[in-house]
Structure 1
Amino acid sequence: MKRVLILIGTLFFLIGCEEKIDDGKINPPYSSDIDDAMYKDVVADFENAGFTNVKTKKIEDLVFGWLTEDGEVEEITIDGETSFSTSSRFESDVEIIVFYHTFQETDKDITQDTETDESENIDEGKGEDDTSKIEESIDSTKDEVITVENNEEFANVLGKKSADEQTSEFAEKYKGRTIAFDANIAYMNNHGSYTTRYDLLIYTGDYSETEVYGPNFQIRDVNISNLNLTGENIPDTIGMGDHIYLTAKIIEWDEERQLFRLEPVSTEFR
């Protein structure tokens, strides 16, 4: 009799478990801690899992796209919640929003409008020679790498003891342009908890523990390959105190921290 009661109890337990599992809800294919995923893949995976109300939302914050890829997911919300796991269960029609990084559409529209205007001018045959000369001059100036030899403003910025109003004015005027100068790695540390990604503090000229000239330059969240090492003297390791010739694009001037943020184009050891 005792065995019969145990058997009946076990059956009721199993039936109860089946009823809980078969509740018509679905487990999400990702947790809220998602990292380095592309939004199209994420949307497809949610839909393949059975979710029917998956939406996307752009975060138009990319400038160069070298740290964060175009289309990379920032966050997922399910029914407005930002914290969930793959063991969570939701109705199939719950609202899911996938937030992802991308470039501003206005930048593309401006480029397209410019190309259209230039095409119309050429088709109309008005001032073709003058237009070509102006375009060549603009392109040449825009592509020119700024150095202390060809830009007096840059030479003044590097020669100052510390940053001032001229520094921020230079940064605003030449934002997005490429600069090149003799520099040194003043400090280098791991970016967050990563062991192969780094933040570098760059100063102009040769390394010194006692005297520093020019503004602070920062290269942030890069691995060694992102530095694009060139030249004949590439070392096995890099670190604080190394002398380099740095070519980099100006991303922005951080007024609060008083530093330039740079995107490396090439790094040559000297």
Structure 2
Amino acid sequence: MGLSVLGGFTEGTEQVKIVQTPEHSNLQAGRIYQDVVKDFKDHGFTNVKTKAIDDLILGWITKDGEVKSVSVDGNLGYLTDDSYPADVEVIVTYHTFPIEDENTEEENQLETIHTSENIEEENQLETIYTAENCEDLNHLLKHDDISIAEDFAHKYHNEIIQFEGNIAHMMNHDTYTTRFDFLIYENIHQMVPFKFNDCSYYDLKLVGDYIPDNVHQGQNYIITAKVVEYNPISGLFFLDPVSLEYVEKTL
């Protein structure tokens, strides 16, 4: 014989405790998971579980332990003060870094070193245009002119250019948390808005003696990149990163 709930009690003597949810699901995303677990327990929920997703990549803004989603009795879209039995399953899903053993970490460190060396060696083998050896690039960097940018993009399509620039702005690419769009300006003249589109930390191919743990707005780099195209409507000059070498800011 099944049991039916009558005003918070079963037909037997067992009471079904009803509790209310804390802030709704959208407000939980981005918090640290231990705080969310505590909130639910403080509200009387007795079956709170956690689920780790090892999708973090070193260098990006999502924090270790940051909540991705919370479900209550399978519902990802619950609202504030929704009523549930206290023993329903609550799952707090959060981001974290993959677990690696010592051997794997050593292999990754060696791979990073070798990759950096390989990129620098490859760059030495290819023609790299700079403001010093290419009059066209020197002209491009000094002028915010659509015709100059269009001519350069056409003439040097798939060629490699290099200049010292700064990350003026970065934002998530679509809804991704580990892929970004970067707006870059050349440091001296700051005329042409260059753009890296849909790049992860590793797509930037950081090289040099010092490789920062994270990439963020305001940093300076020697930027080596392949010419993709110029969009006269947006005014953006698209590049594909070949390598970025960190440059310490000086006053």
Bigger share in helix: 1
Q: Which has the higher contact order (CA 8 A, sep 6+)?
A: 2
Larger Rg: 1
